[in-house]
Chains A and B, each alone.
Chain A
Amino acid sequence: MFNLLHRLSSPPSFFAFAGRALPWLLGGALLLIAAGCYQGLVVAPADYQQGDSYRIMFVHVPSAWMSLFIYMVMAAAGAIALVWRIKLAEVIASASAPIGASFTFLTLVTGALWGKPMWGAWWVWDARLTSELILLFLYLGYMGLESAIPDKRSAARATAILALVGSVNIPIIHFSVEWWNTLHQGATVTKLGAPSIHPSMLLPLLLMAVGFKLFYFANLLVRARCQMLEREQRSHWVSTLIKEAA
């Protein structure tokens, strides 16, 4: 297992592996997202309180889960990069940031589009919304700091520290609906005990969640391949690869 991981973390084998895994990940993601949209928009019944507006949940909640998950990947990869200086970890952390920022943006905007008809306001300064907005600023700050440092390796170290410090925000977002009085509803799926959501609504939610996750991995591989080519353009393996293709 460790041997396999070690082999995979070398840039040339990662580059080849990513190329092979990509079509499967993307295909799976598209299939699951299409099925999730069909189940969520057509098959699932309207909510007895919120009518059809609740269907925004099938985009909003998986995006929100991804915004937290990607941040944790970024912070973990950053920690690995800090301690062991593994290039692949640096690349994964840096390639994750724009995808995480995208999902955080999507969470905030779909939340506003759901909040307006249900709460009567696009935005309220409550704990859940504010901490998610801070998450967006953390992602943007990460990307800004990275682009401000020309040397990739020192940029990776500085941004890893930022990601690790910012990770205190993750439990705050998750527990914000329990710690503070808020308009935002509590957890219905990720709580202890049985989820308080009907199976016909849980199915599209899970399809979309897994679809988004596969999409993240596929997207991560494309971005990581691109960064690998750039960082390693003078290395032997890249020139061999290019010579074969030329």
Chain B
Amino acid sequence: MDSFLHMGGYAFYVWTSYALALVVLSLNWILPRRALHKRWHALLRREQSSTGKAA
């Protein structure tokens, strides 16, 4: 396990690369998901307030 983490002396370079990939992919997933969620709920609220007034 130690030698695995050590990566033959290249630990910093290898693990930073993989960590960055993880961060970039996660942000690419989370931010648009959140934007879609927000837009959907904004439209829902608009719909509910307009039907609320009508009733």
Bound pair: A and B?
A: yes
Q: Determine the chain A residues whose CB is within 8 A of the CB of B47 once the complex forms.
A: 239, 242-243, 246
Q: Determine the chain A residues whose CB is within 8 A of the CB of B29 once the complex forms.
A: 26, 219, 222
Contact across chains for A110 and B21 when beta carbons are under 8 A apart = yes
Q: Determine the chain A residues whose CB is within 8 A of the CB of B27 once the complex forms.
A: 102
Is the C-beta of A140 less than 8 angstroms from some C-beta in chain B? no
Q: Determine the chain A residues whose CB is within 8 A of the CB of B33 once the complex forms.
A: 222
Report if A246-B51 is in contact (Cβ < 8 Å); known contacts: A219-B28, A219-B29, A222-B33: yes
Distance in Å from the Cβ of B27 to the closest Cβ of chain A? 8
Distance in Å from the Cβ of A69 to the closest Cβ of chain B? 15
Which bucket holds chain A's interface residue count? 35 or more
Q: How many interface contacts (CB-CB < 8 Å) are there between A and B?
A: 89
Is the C-beta of B43 less than 8 angstroms from some C-beta in chain A? yes
Contact across chains for A229 and B13 when beta carbons are under 8 A apart = no
Please, how many angstroms separate the alpha-carbon atoms of A245 and B48 in the complex?
10
- Name B39's closest neighbour in chain A (CB-CB): A229
Distance in Å from the Cβ of B13 to the closest Cβ of chain A? 5
Distance in Å from the Cβ of B28 to the closest Cβ of chain A? 5
Distance in Å from the Cβ of B23 to the closest Cβ of chain A? 9
Contact across chains for B7 and A110 when beta carbons are under 8 A apart = no
Report if A59-B39 is in contact (Cβ < 8 Å); known contacts: A99-B28, A222-B33, A246-B48: no
Q: What are the 6 A-B residue pairs with the smallest beta carbon separation, nearest first?
A: A52-B8, A53-B10, A226-B36, A51-B8, A52-B7, A110-B17
B residues apposed to A, CB below 8 Å: 4, 7-10, 13-14, 16-18, 20-21, 24-25, 27-29, 32-33, 35-36, 39-40, 43-44, 46-48, 51
